[in-house]
Structure 1
Amino acid sequence: MTVYFHEEDLPDGTFADLAPDHPLAVDTETMGLVTARDRLCVVQISDGKGDEHLVRFKNGSSYDAPNLKRVLADRNRVKIYHFARFDLAAIEHYLGVEAGPVFCTKIASKLTRTYTDRHGLKNLVNELLGEDMSKQQQSSDWGADTITDAQREYAASDVRFLHRMREILITRLEREGRLEMAQAAYDFLPTRARLDLAGWADKDIFSHE
């Protein structure tokens, strides 16, 4: 298992040896939770084979990352997220691409693990895979000039488990007869992210209010 760290873009040919339909796990680290205000600092990607790739963007970056954008925008590869709504908005706002098709482990968890209200990544990793992960670096300064080894390991761990969890959650969605419902939710997520970016983050446009 290796964590690769890249500045501003993926190297040429990264993931080129994968089958076109091979899913990729994706996550982002930002300066905060307000997408337009809090800049994108790191994008993490894993092919599920044991390695993770981290792409760091420094302050003032143009976000001109053609290799990364090509991978994220590839419609032949499902992108696995945990809470895809946030990551899709950050990627579209800063990189200008729709990073789908989508599988969101948090939505899948909410549709299948109805016996709990604990749907955080750490909770899922512990229950579904029997492993522990540290969230200690979650609120650290991702815009610092130097990304620490602890931050790199944290960022890598956010995509390390998503492939295995996806397989388990697909089985549970099928078991509960909710696979089509989940897919419809995933298909809507890019639009939901755009609604967030356009100012409707806290409004339910489907409500009667």
Structure 2
Amino acid sequence: MNLITTTADLAAACDRLAAADYVTVDTEFMRETTFWPKLCLIQMAGPDEAVIVDPVAGGDALDLTPFFALMGNANVIKVFHAARQDIEIVFHLGGLVPHPVFDTQVAAMVCGFGDSISYDQLVQRITGDKIDKSHRFTDWARRPLSEHQLAYALADVTHLREVYAYLDRALAEQGRSEWVQEEMATLTSPDTYRLEPELAWTRLKMRVRQPRDLAVLRAIAAWREREAQSRDVPRGRVLKDDALYEIAAQKPKDEAALARLRTIPRGFERSKSGRDILATVATAADSPKETWPEPPKARQAPEGANAASELLKVLLKQVAEANGVAAKVIATSDDLERIAAGDDDEVAALSGWRRELFGEQALALKEGRLALTFDGRKVVTLESDEPYALAPKSQRRPRRRRAKKGSNTEAAAGESGTGAETVD
């Protein structure tokens, strides 16, 4: 096993891997007690070799610059499975987003392997190999690591070579390579990984709705973000989300008022953080009205939108099954609700390959130019250039319903001597 703990060995390995068309990449990290992920291992594999980089054992003597240079090499495809957290680590430590990137989890969804399939399941379905997951909850920061732990870590990139080759070929055969490339645009955008404190409030649930309350929420969420980043602790270790909502709603003006809040830890009001919060609240509450954020507009669904949304769910399932694509990657529940309500601006399901696959049919269904019906046991679609329309009720053929034996209707018919069937 090629275990790297020096900068020279890392540089040599990265030079060799840079000559390949692709490199599979995975990381092991710890984050339970920190804001920033603590990088513990880097695993990489090209077509002909696989290496493990140990930044913990290497310590300050190991400079990761060669690794970051490889991640930024536009001539080498970086292959990950569920890449977001791995890319976040590279962005935080190296200041760059790997490019180009191929995420096998996204590709698997496009190729019909279901929603968010796990790595071990994907490996087993494609290669037939079963990965030993007994070290899934390893403390990767502890040294020394056993041979079994290192072998487990390395398997995350060696099997990934076969998975990548299979999915890349399948996408090309199905004409869907560009679909995955579209998905990689968001995954490789630096904006995805920037954690600007001033935007921290936008990631919270909007439990306060008044503009002044939102101004306070924005300010204290930014304070918490800066505190968590500078102290390298999880946000919840600074203040829980519920505390932010209560502070924004109550806007305490002194220590006594802050102490009365049920979500504030005992003694917090007397700490430096407590004083900082009070000052932040005061500044935000007294800020000019024109600087307050606008509350998010509540979408009022028009009459019939809920039923339309349910129909769109059926259509989505039909399209996903017919095309072998995971429904989750085609459209979200929010997409369906917005289409049903006529709020079509910037709906992901109505752009790019999603519009071609599903979006156009969704609009046609809503406009009455497409209908859903059963063919045997499957839901199928019927299309028309003109909207489907029901005949006026007076022109519909009556549906005959035979009276149940022994019912009051049958008894009444017998008494009248007509024996007539009821019609509705």
Q: Tell me the TM-score range normalised by the shorter chain.
A: 0.7 to 0.9
Aligned AA (1:5): L
* 2-structure distance, mates of 1:66, 1:182: 29
Quote how far apart the aligned CAs of 1:79 are: 0.5
Render the CA deviation track for 1:18-69: whole Å, top value 9, x for unaligned: 57451000000001379843311111100122x3211112289567322222
Bigger relative contact order, structure 1 or 2, given CA contacts below 8 A and separation 6+? 1
- 8 Å CA contact retained: 2:108, 2:167: yes
Deviations 1:144-176 (A, max 9, x none): 121221210111000001222112112322344
Runs of 4+ in 1 over 6 A off after TM superposition: 200-204
In structure 2, the CA distance between the partners of 1:181 and 1:119, relative to structure 1 (3 Å rule), is same
Question: Residue 7 of structure 1 corresponds to which residue in structure 2?
Answer: 5
One-letter identity of the residue aligned with 2:103: C
Superposition RMSD on alpha carbons, in Å? 3.1
Query: Aligned residue for 1:103?
Result: 102
**Letter of the structure 2 residue corresponding to residue 126 of structure 1:** Q
Cα distance change, pair 158–33 in 1 and its aligned pair in 2 (3 A): farther
| Aligned-partner Cα distance in 1 for 2:187–2:156 | 20
**Per-residue deviation, 1:177:** 3.4
Matches of 2:58 and 2:13, distance apart in 1 = 25
Please say if 1:195 is aligned against 2:182.
Answer: no
- The letter for the 2-side match of 1:43 is I
Q: Contact (CA 8 Å) 1:73, 1:99: kept in 2 or not? A: yes
Task: Give, in angstroms, the shift of residue 137 of structure 1.
Answer: 1.1
For the 8 Å contact 1:8–1:65, the answer to whether it is kept is no
CA distance in 2 between partners of 1:121 and 1:80 (Å) = 13
Measure the CA separation in 2 of the matches of 1:162 and 1:171. Answer: 14
Q: Distance in 1 between matches of 2:64 and 2:191?
A: 21
- The amino acid across from 1:52 in the alignment is A
Q: Which runs of 5+ in 2 are unaligned?
A: 206-331, 339-424
- Which secondary structure state, in structure 2, belongs to the residue aligned with residue 162 of structure 1? helix
Match of 2:63 in 1: 64
Secondary structure of 2:28's partner? strand
The residue type equivalent to 1:38 in the other structure is P
Closer, same or farther: CA 128–99 of 1 in aligned 2, 3 Å: same
Does the 8 Å contact 1:42/1:55 carry over to 2?
yes
Contact 1:30 1:39 in 2 (8 A): yes
Q: 1:163 to 1:202 in 2, by over 3 A?
A: farther
Alignment length, in residue pairs? 203
* 1-structure distance, mates of 2:86, 2:33: 12
Residues 83 and 107 in structure 1, CA contact (< 8 A), matched pair in contact too = yes
Instruction: Give % identity.
Output: 24
Q: Residue 93 of structure 1 aligns with which residue?
A: 92
TM, length-normalised to structure 2: 0.43
CA distance in structure 2 between the aligned counterparts of 1:35 and 1:131, rounded to whole angstroms: 35
Task: Give the 3-state SS of the residue equivalent to 1:14 in structure 2.
Answer: helix
Q: Deviations over 1:65-123 (max 9, x none)?
A: 22222222211100010011111011111233322210010000111125x34611111
